[in-house]
Chain A
Amino acid sequence: MSHLSERPDDAVVGLALPHESAALHVTGHALYTDDLVHRTPHVLHAHPVCSPHPHARVTRVDTSAALTVPGVVRVLTAEDVPGTNDAGVKHDEPLFPDVVMFVGHAVCWVLGDTLEAARVGAAAVEVDYEPLPAIVSLTEAIDAEHFQGGRPVVARGDVEAGLAGATHVFSGVTEMAGQEHFYLETHASLTLVDEGGQVFVQSSTQHPSETQEIVAHVLGLDSHHVTVQCLRMGGGFGGKEMQPHGFAAVAALGAVLTGRPVRLRLSRTHDMTMTGKRHGFHAQWRVGFDDDGRLTALEATLTSDGGWSLDLSEPVLARALCHVDNAYWIPHVLVHGRVARTHKTSQTAFRGFGGPQGMLVVEDILGRCAPLLGIDPVDLRRRNFYVDGQATPYGQVVRHPERLAAAWEQVLASGDVVRRRAEVAAFNAAHAHRKRGLAVTPVKFGISFNFTAFNQAGALVHVYKDGSVLINHGGTEMGQGLHTKMLQVAATTLGVPLAKVRVAPTRTDKVPNTSATAASSSSDLNGGAVKDACEQVLARLREVDAGRGLAWEELVREAYFSRVQLWAAGFYRTEGIHWDSTQMSGHPFKYFAYGVAAAEVEVDGFTGAHRTRRVDIVHDVGDSLSPLVDLGQVEGGFVQGVGWLTMEDLRWDESDGPARGRLTTQSASTYKLPSLGELPDELHVALLEHAHEDGAVYGSKAVGEPPLMLAFAVREALREAVGAFGPEGASVELASPATPEAVFWAAERARGAAPDRVVEGLPGVQPDRPDPAAPALHPRSEQAARAAGEA
């Protein structure tokens, strides 16, 4: 047990506590960014002027009519930008564009005394466009070879030899849709210039430091002129990792130019129309199995729908490539990735960050091939698990694979899976128009940012003279319970009651250069930093105490009078990870998080409507820092994954009509997410026992993202239920999302025995080959590390 992971007796970590803000949440007293508007005098409201075209040159912007609207104060345009007219870190996202790249792209912003004035003003701005050809669908982009950014390749062994030596070779195509975050709180910023001339930005952001950088570069200021605060977010899920920056920058620009506070809050329609989503993916694949159904080789080309700019598409793609194996040992691998450039919102981080899309490819392959191999899918998955000593295609040895096996066995036992699968078969035999399916799927998910530099964190811990403790850290609270865990870590390290500790809102002037609250890593990183800061203070206090065993308050008071520093800045960096993005190899992850789910569904053959009857989950969170929080993450992630896979249906107008490129599901009435009715009738969740993680704070593991992929069990159960409408041994192709309509058509194909588009034998459908001339990924951190090494 490492010092980092060792947990003292009477630890506050490990207690099942409600969210630290729960009492504020339930009473409506918890404040979010836009709640501050009503306590901010003279605030201006911002409203965008949005492009109706998916791709067009802006030939004229005339704001004169808008300025005559009562209450309109100013229109912000490109000419107003004192610094860099760009909202991203890749310099491909002009904040005020002269070529609009998607329907809804903001050309300029109107500021008004009221939101109503700004809205009416925005409608009065005259913009002339010269429409340009637009690529809307992913397949159009692939056909046109319209790609952007790097084209990474993960390779091991000799995939041709692996396929040639296989007993069975199958090939096919797998497509999956993206997902709208639908955080209940839309993007919001409230910015003012304070008494010291400092630009103070309140933003609903998962990455305050990057919001700060972007605001500074748009304003042409150094970072120390800009402070970003995030009180809390009403959900983020990755959608506020990179997308808030431009909105904060617009509000900041308005505040600087008018001298008045500016509020920018997107309506739901604007949020859905203007901001990025989970990437849809398209995958071409060839796979080989041996006599026993063991995977011998996988060749695949994964193309993500990046939308109009790069945003986080490259690291999302990298994570997809690093998760295409999921839990399975595949000796020979060649997986090539590319990002399509389409005239849509710039797709971005979303819980799982490419991992779900990569993993869905191999789960889809196994689900479709199992009947063709004549192997029960439960057995097929289990027999391909990693075992001790085996490495991923990118070269990282998979540690603790026996824990995944243990979780699998536990789910089979606690879920009574063998008996229930027999019941499912009996039910299906007795019912012509209703079919059930029960599937079990694993999750293996790598924890750490692939982008090595992000694996650091800071914290600031103050002990006041009265013994009360205030902590700041670099992570943001979006509902995931990070602050709750950090309070527990601080109380545990200092050995004080939880009530002694308070956490203050995240601010860039308290802890600088923070990483995004993302990649499930925030408890690991910020927990390490909080612990470090607490230990520094504690070490000094121990010297003061000198073995006398003074009570906390007395010790603190005495330390103060002895002129001992009662506060500390903590720092943490994840040790033992390295990554070469050119070769796509290394040891990018500190550890893997595991989970297993068994799901039983019932499908109505008349409509395709389906219902999840029962779900059993065993998930690995190490030694939980906060079991109630972790349980909430597992359940919430699972249901969100079920939404992605079975219900949430992003549609863009792909016609050649005047609405081409428009998101047709841009509201809560057309984009449906899971409601209470989608909660499985029975849901049993257990946290894996004996799961101490030696490399993380107090033996815990990350939990934010991995449970989302537990939802594969529902998708695979649907596939089995659909298959039961047809003859045995037929492969079932299931669209993603598996909406009632998609399930209905799949059942129709099964009933009519229309073939799945899996091709048997070589050469099969050959994936597009990597382009040797295409750029690799070259994150700056690696360049810096190399330069430092060479110096």
Chain B
Amino acid sequence: MPDPQVTVNGQPRPLAGTPIHTNALDFLRGLGLTGAKEGCAEGECGACAVMVARPEGAGSRWTPVNACLVPALALDGQEVVTAEGLGTPEQLHPVQAGLAAAGGSQCGYCTPGFACSMAAEYYRPDREAGADGFDLHAIAGNLCRCTGYRPIRDAARALGGPAPADPLAERQANPAPAAVATRVDGFARPADLADALTLLADHPDAVVVAGSTDWGVEANLRGRRAAYVVAVDRLPELRGISTDGPVEIGAALTLSEVEAALGDTVPLLAEVWPLFASPLIRNGATIGGNLATASPIGDLAPALLALDATLLLASTTGDREVALADFFTGYRTTVLRPAELVRAVRVPTPLAAHTTFRKVAKRRYDDISSVAVAAALDVVDGTVVRARIGLGGVAATPLRARATEAALEGRPWTQETVEAASSVLAGEGTPIDDQRASAAYRSAMLGNALRAWWDEAWDEARDEARDEEGSA
């Protein structure tokens, strides 16, 4: 196996000897590429954003990620571009020129990260030049404390398209670097699932990482150190997606990849993505990782609970299927056995006809839920025949609101039923007071979730009032 190395701004850089806890940010800064900055060390601020070449169709796609969360060794075989690789002070990249001219930098510390997030969107193949062509969500994971964002937004919206011979645009026409198997002291990227399962059996204390968006925080902020790290994000057996029959999503697909592949196939999930962390995180975080870390405040689990999802768990003895509702056993614990991996998530079809996702947080985007409520209903002839409600933020695990489901099923879908069910929903879970919200607020938000849904989507009386307003 060749020595690990990564291509940074077009130059090969050896990774050999890098400690397993060294993240990509510190590695890059150690090379003298100090453009990427540490602002928070937990993927919240985007000051460390860099672009990596990821596969997309037959070509590749410049994908921004938070360098602070990724183990440097996980970059083996990959291509990275930092702000320094976009342009120089003498020859600015169009994104950099736009940011500079608009007054988009003040202290400048967050700016290289913004430049990388913006450049990745600039190179999105199907992006149209012009004000509405730039998806502003692309920079939702980058914090700026100086400008108030208006000049950054304007710079983004003013961007044209890449010039004909733009080397980074041309690079996207070619395949991304193939996944390489890596095996160094303390770190392994297995070539396939069988190899991975064997490794896990050999290293029962191994930490499994994919995008490392959870483990990276543990390592950076809480000083946790792994004896052995196994990277599973490129395992081919974990990267398939199928929508024929039940929707089956490979566990190692990033949330961005799932979002792109599903489109509107699962409307409830389409509602979740924009509210789930930031693009920088969604480009790293995988669907399997999100569930396996078993966060009680995750946004995906409530939605998948409402969809009656199951998990396919792989081990050397074969697959087993576990309902997501039975997967979580306690605070950040699951039924996963040692040396067992989440291989895929399966969503049964047909999907419920009516779904909603309600997230309450201090900040509209890129925040952790105080409360998340996902609901899926089938209503036949005005009667609720099936209700599934998943909750986050109100117990030690994500959970189903079974009492509320019971209060809905078999009842007419009316405002009176909504009111009655809302009272039940307000009593679900065991919410606590913490820095995000009070227990009382969390309960109130549970109680209001269905009411708000009714008001927005079902209340015909309100619609009539609106129509009158519109015609007035």
Contact = CB atoms under 8 A, between A and B. Distances in A.
Interface of A: 18-19, 21-32, 35, 38-39, 116, 119, 123, 181-185, 232-237, 267-269, 430, 432-433, 478-481, 604, 606-607, 609, 611, 628-629, 631-632, 635-640, 647, 649, 651, 664-665, 667-670, 672-679, 683, 739-741, 744-745, 748
B103 to A, nearest CB: 5
Given A19-B106, A27-B88, A676-B139, A668 B83 contact: no
Residue of A25, A116, A478 ringed by the most chain B CB atoms within 10 A: A25
Nearest to B19: A116
Contacts of B101: 18, 22
B363 interface: yes
A23 B435 contact: no
A615 to B, nearest CB: 10
B103 A628 contact: yes
A184 B153 contact: no
A676 B140 contact: yes
B32 interface: yes
A675 B366 contact: yes
B107 A235 contact: yes
A184 B364 contact: no
B438 interface: yes
Residue of A19, A183, A478, A628 ringed by the most chain B CB atoms within 10 A: A19
B223 interface: yes
Contact of B33 (A18, A28, A430): A28
A668 B42 contact: yes
Interface residues of B, number: 90
Given A181-B145, A606-B448, A678-B364, 11 more contacts: A25-B111, A27-B92, A183-B107, A184-B143, A233-B107, A628-B103, A632-B106, A675-B140, A675-B363, A741-B362, A741-B370
Contact of B100 (A23, A480, A675): A23
Contact of A27 (B87, B436, B444): B87
A629 B109 CA distance: 17
Contacts of A182: 145
B364 A24 contact: no
Contact of B441 (A481, A631, A741): A741
B360 to A, nearest CB: 5
B136 A676 contact: yes
Interface in B80-129: 82-84, 86-89, 92, 95-97, 99-112, 115
A740 B448 CA distance: 14
Nearest to B87: A27
A739 B38 CA distance: 27
Interface of B: 19, 21, 29-30, 32-42, 44-45, 47, 82-84, 86-89, 92, 95-97, 99-112, 115, 136, 139-140, 142-153, 217, 220-221, 223, 360-368, 370, 434-438, 441, 444-445, 448-449, 451-452, 455, 462, 465-466, 469
Contacts of B448: 606-607
B34 A28 contact: yes
A105 B139 CA distance: 36
Given A26-B92, A235-B146, A268 B83 contact: no
A721 to B, nearest CB: 16
A668 B95 CA distance: 26
Contact of B89 (A29, A480, A744): A29
A19 B34 contact: no
Contact of A672 (B83, B149, B362, B437): B362
B89 A23 contact: yes
A675 B96 CA distance: 20
Q: Helix, strand, loop or mixed for chain A's interface? A: loop
Contact of A665 (B109, B144, B435, B438): B435
24 contacts: A21-B108, A22-B105, A23-B92, A24-B89, A26-B83, A26-B95, A27-B89, A32-B109, A116-B21, A234-B37, A235-B106, A235-B107, A268-B38, A433-B452, A607-B448, A607-B452, A635-B147, A639-B148, A647-B362, A649-B362, A674-B148, A677-B140, A678-B363, A739-B362
Q: Helix, strand, loop or mixed for chain B's interface? A: loop
Contacts of B40: 268, 667-669
A24 B107 CA distance: 11
Contact of B106 (A479, A604, A664): A479
Nearest to A610: B364
B363 A28 contact: no
Top 4 closest pairs, chain A to chain B, by CB: A28-B35, A479-B107, A234-B109, A25-B108
Contact of B112 (A27, A478, A636, A741): A27
Given A26-B112, A119-B223, A636-B146, A651 B435 contact: yes
Contacts of B19: 116
Given A19-B105, A27-B87, A30-B108, A640 B362 contact: no
A51 to B, nearest CB: 17
A606 B148 contact: no
Given A19-B103, A234-B37, A741-B437, A26 B111 contact: yes
A234 B107 contact: yes
Given A35-B34, A38-B32, A639-B149, A27 B86 contact: yes
B422 to A, nearest CB: 10
